[in-house]
Structure 1
Amino acid sequence: MSSAARILLERLFPAGLEDLRARVEEIHLPVGQTVFRRGDPCRNYLLVVQGSVRVQVLAANGREITLYRVCDGQSCVITTSCLISVESYPAEGVAEVETTALVVPQPVFDQALGDSAEFRRFVFANQGQRLGDLIQRVEDVVFGRIDVRLARLLMTLSEQGVKSIAITHQQLASELGSAREVISRQLKQFAGRGWVGIGRGAIEVKAPAALDELARQSG
């Protein structure tokens, strides 16, 4: 087991809970590995040690929406909810990069909630924070202006002076919870103003100041 995983495990399962700690497994997920699918039964608590798991929903019409990401030291809010309610997964999770995670079987999860104050605080604190993030995400998708949200995303992706962003219109649409056609139309408007350049599988940021000004607007 990696040192990072061991440190996290010892914090959540302190002295006296070695028997529970021994039943937790470390797994390694390659890029693109499906962690869970919609309709799968939920049998384990997932805790990412290092990496990123994208949680997304695929609608019947093929439209894909990214709900959130589970990154270093975080757990999946949907997994936690499904474990507590004994429900199947309503979404799917995919490893975006090589990811190391801890898998806590449901019997261990249930017992640890009662026996470990550290584990209990971690689960509920993470759940509360991630639920808040998810609600904000829904508000953005439903009520936010697409031009403002696209500008914000482009500015985020072009941080650290990166001007050429390797991303497709479909990927942008998934990130923003929109349709590809809507994103393509908005990008053409940005290009018409000289703010971006549109290439095959890439967007070039030409006027970061203009995009940043739009990104700072409410909406």
Structure 2
Amino acid sequence: MTDTVPPELLALYPALGALPALLPTLAPVSVPAGTQLFREADACQGFPLVLRGEVKVSRSAANGRELELYRVAPGEMCLVSSASLFAGQPLSARGVATSDTTLCLLAPPQFQAALAEAGFRHYVLGLFAARMADLTGLIEAIAFQKLDSRLAAALLGHGTTLKTTHQALADELGTVREIVSRLLHRFERDGLVELSRESITIRDSAGLRAVASGG
């Protein structure tokens, strides 16, 4: 290892130990808080290895609103960058340093060469799977936050007992049955409803109204 390689690199990303030829190319770069490291639709410049600080990865909507997807701390992986490198496609989000940040960048050809080493490949795929699980949780949370109010509203105004199916409610709300079922079971755990075959009994209409209003 050359003097340009920080000692914490292997501690944070141990799989790099099997790639000694690449280590001298991984010189650290430090950027101040607020630095934009990559942008949506740009070509990915490499696989970032965060040593210190933090990177926020987010997407922007046409109306200017921003949705934070996740943050990359030291030793973690950027899903957007790795997916771009895997597929050879432009980046689907942007990354900004939230604090003074130090990182190394594994260039695309180096990343592809490193994937040929089984230990590094398994390590990256493991980090990829973990980050994907986090992102899936975010997607579900967003879907639930929008749907729980709509579902609660759909249950109200039909009396104490509503004769319907989970699939019928899903069709009414424009979603899938599995999400409706999860929300209904959550309502049941919270004491708002009681579920039975093709029937939903309202147990706490005031509580449902609070959910319907976003409370």
TM-score between both structures, scaled by the size of structure 2: 0.62
Counterpart secondary structure, 2:111: helix
- Given that 1:5 and 1:26 are in contact with CA atoms closer than 8 Å, whether structure 2 keeps it comes out as no
Does 2:9 align with 1:5? yes
Distance 1:4 1:146 in 2: 44
Structure number, greater radius of gyration: 2
Q: Within 5 A, what are the aligned runs for 1:6-155?
A: 6-8=10-12, 11-14=14-17, 17-115=19-117, 117-144=118-145
Higher relative contact order, chain-length normalized (CA < 8 Å, sep 6+): 1
Counterpart secondary structure, 1:19: coil
Amino acid paired to 1:66: E
Question: Could you tell me how far 1:2 is from its partner in structure 2?
Answer: 2.9
Q: 1:39 to 1:145 in 2, by over 3 A?
A: closer
Distance 1:61 1:127 in 2: 30
Distance 2:144 2:16 in 1: 42
Instruction: Please give the per-residue CA displacement for 1:34-89, whole angstroms capped at 9, x wherever unaligned.
Output: 01001110130112122110001111111111111011201100100000101111
Identical-residue share of aligned pairs (%):
33
Instruction: Please give the per-residue CA displacement for 1:142-172, whole angstroms capped at 9, x wherever unaligned.
Output: 213799xxxxxxxxxxxxxxxxxxxxxxxxx
- Given that 2:60 and 2:66 are in contact with CA atoms closer than 8 Å, whether structure 1 keeps it comes out as yes
Runs of 5+ in structure 1 lacking a partner? Answer: 148-219
Distance 1:4 1:14 in 2: 12
TM-score between both structures, scaled by the size of structure 1: 0.61
